[in-house]
């Protein structure tokens, strides 16, 4: 009876249950990816567990409450997870970060979703946010939807890099260093761009008269 092949230990990889406390996402990812490529048992599920919440938050932030009819933000996130796992065997660490690849795959899948909807003119795209409080009356619901749509337009009007940094830092919750690795820029550049983006967003909110609505 043939014996099962036991994968060689992977340098830097320790099963999640054996870690005394959580490590930084970017650093943890690199060791888990190496283990997954080497076929270490449990590494691929752990990789998915690490990335799934990050990918879901990213897709929800980029898609927002837009109704893509047959595709939701979570559907897109699932496609991203599948694509990331498929990319692992061919991934080569050339001094970059696996987060950069993940962000690129997620951005492409989100863009694909919007292109698919734009080709289907029979299915309108709504700007109603998913987190609108359905317990409120119709007037409150409408005001909340209008506010969400207005904020979405303000963000969409910002430079692409500023949009990505605000999404990764504020919504996804990555650190400046992790965001820099995901975007291929320095942490200092991330902080400066984020500061400018937030200042621009604050100015736009006041110009559009949205400040009182946000504080209500």
Identify whether the C-beta of residue 109 lies closer than 8 Å to the C-beta of residue 151. no
Average pLDDT over the chain, rounded to an integer: 75
| pLDDT winner (highest mean) among 10-24, 134-148, 199-213 | 199-213
Tally of structural domains, the chain: 2
Of residues 107, 103, 80, 102, the one with CA closest to residue 33:
102
Identify whether the C-beta of residue 85 lies closer than 8 Å to the C-beta of residue 60. no
State the pLDDT at residue 161.
Answer: 93
Both 87 and 152 in a single domain? no
Both 106 and 29 in a single domain? yes
Both 28 and 112 in a single domain? yes
Give the domain range for residue 26. Answer: 21-126
Q: Specify if 13 maps to a domain.
A: no
State the pLDDT at residue 103.
Answer: 92
Both 109 and 142 in a single domain? no
Q: Specify if 6 maps to a domain.
A: no
| Predicted structure pTM score | 0.66
Q: Which of 70-84, 115-129, 153-167 has the lowest mean pLDDT?
A: 115-129
Q: Which of 29-33, 71-75, 108-112, 119-123 has the lowest mean pLDDT?
A: 119-123
Q: Specify if 15 maps to a domain.
A: no
The more confidently predicted of residues 9 and 103 is 103
Both 101 and 43 in a single domain? yes
Both 154 and 187 in a single domain? yes
131 class by beta-carbon count within 10 Å (0-12 exposed, 13-18 middle, 19+ buried): exposed
Q: Specify if 1 maps to a domain.
A: no
Both 122 and 141 in a single domain? no
Identify whether the C-beta of residue 40 lies closer than 8 Å to the C-beta of residue 10. yes
State the pLDDT at residue 150.
Answer: 60
The per-residue pLDDT for range 98-155, each reduced to its tens digit, is 999 999 999 999 988 888 777 665 544 444 333 333 334 444 434 444 445 566 677 7
State the pLDDT at residue 132.
Answer: 36
CATH code of the domain covering residue 164: 1.10.10.10
Q: State which of 126, 161, 182 marks the end of a domain.
A: 126
Q: State which of 126, 158, 178 marks the end of a domain.
A: 126
- On the CB side of 194, CA atoms within 13 Å amount to 23
Both 33 and 62 in a single domain? yes
Integer Cα distance of 30 and 20 in angstroms: 18
CATH code of the domain covering residue 37: 1.10.1740.10
């Amino acid at each position: 009876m043939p014996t099962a092949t036991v994968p060689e230990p992977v340098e830097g990889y320790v099963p999640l249950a054996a870690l005394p406390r959580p490590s930084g996402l970017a650093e943890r990812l690199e060791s888990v990816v190496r283990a997954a490529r080497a076929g270490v048992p449990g590494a691929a599920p752990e990789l998915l567990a690490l990335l799934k919440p990050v990918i879901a938050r990213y897709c929800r932030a980029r898609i927002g409450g837009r109704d893509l009819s047959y595709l939701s933000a979570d559907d897109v996130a699932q496609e991203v997870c599948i694509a990331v796992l498929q990319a692992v065997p061919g991934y080569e660490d050339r001094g970059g970060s696996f987060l950069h690849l993940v962000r690129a795959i997620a951005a492409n899948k989100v863009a694909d979703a919007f292109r698919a909807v734009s080709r289907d003119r029979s299915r309108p795209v709504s700007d109603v946010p998913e987190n609108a409080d359905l317990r409120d009356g119709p007037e409150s619901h409408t005001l909340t939807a209008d506010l969400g749509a207005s904020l979405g337009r303000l963000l969409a009007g910002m430079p692409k890099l500023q949009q990505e940094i605000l999404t990764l830092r504020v919504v996804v919750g990555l650190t400046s260093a992790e965001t820099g690795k995901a975007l291929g820029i320095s942490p200092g550049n991330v902080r400066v761009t984020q500061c400018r983006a937030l200042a621009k967003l604050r100015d736009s909110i006041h110009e559009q008269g949205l400040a009182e609505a946000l504080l209500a």
